[in-house]
């Protein structure tokens, strides 16, 4: 029988994370949505934040535009990876404050699609019970 973990985990201490099971997501406060989300140009295109024609542009120009729009907070030139901006609370800018659901779920980045298979502790999540 499936049983929820008895305690919340510490998002910053991966040793406290629990083995991921899909059923956990139904009861979670979206703790994973407070982790930094790294995205590539393909994600930004899917998210309709970048046009395919911009792939030929200098990625620094795209990063500058997205920073100005409040979409990304960092760009790593060597890996061509953008880090999505977060709200003051630490939540992803696409996480609905009240429902704790992703507002762009169908368009979400690969990092989110592949969590928790990839991430700080593959196969584990920072499960936190809903209030």
Per-residue pLDDT tens for 38-58? 999 999 999 999 999 998 989
- Evaluate whether 4 touches 123 at the Cβ level (below 8 Å): no
> 70: number of CA atoms within 13 Å, CB side?
6
Q: Is 73 in a helix, a strand, or coil?
A: strand
Q: Where are the domains of the chain?
A: 28-125
Tens digits of per-residue pLDDT, 68-124? 999 999 999 999 999 999 999 999 999 999 999 999 999 999 999 999 998 889 999
Q: For residue 77, give the nearest of 126, 43, 41 by alpha carbon.
A: 41
Q: Is 72 in a helix, a strand, or coil?
A: strand
Average pLDDT over residues 25-35: 85
Q: Is the pLDDT of residue 18 over 90?
A: no
- Evaluate whether 33 touches 127 at the Cβ level (below 8 Å): no
Higher-confidence residue of 22 and 64: namely 64
For residue 68, CA distances in Å to 13, 99, 131 come to 32, 27, 35
Instruction: Round to whole Å and give the CA distance between 129 and 54.
Output: 41
What pLDDT, on a 0 to 100 scale, did the predictor assign at position 23? 84
Mean pLDDT, rounded, of the chain: 90
Q: Is the pLDDT of residue 37 over 80?
A: yes
Helix or strand holding residue 59 (H, E): helix 59-68
């Amino acid at each position: 029988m499936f049983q929820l973990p008895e305690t919340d985990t510490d998002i910053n201490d991966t040793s406290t994370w629990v083995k991921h099971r899909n059923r956990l997501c139904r009861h979670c406060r979206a703790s994973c949505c407070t982790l930094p989300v790294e995205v590539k140009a393909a994600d930004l295109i899917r998210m309709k934040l970048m046009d395919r024609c911009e792939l030929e542009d200098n990625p620094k120009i795209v990063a500058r535009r997205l920073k100005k729009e409040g979409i990304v907070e960092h760009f790593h030139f060597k890996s061509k990876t953008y880090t999505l901006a977060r709200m003051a609370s630490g939540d992803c800018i696409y996480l609905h404050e009240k429902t704790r659901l992703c507002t762009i779920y169908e368009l979400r980045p690969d990092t989110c699609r592949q969590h928790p298979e990839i991430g700080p502790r593959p196969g584990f999540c920072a499960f936190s019970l809903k209030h």
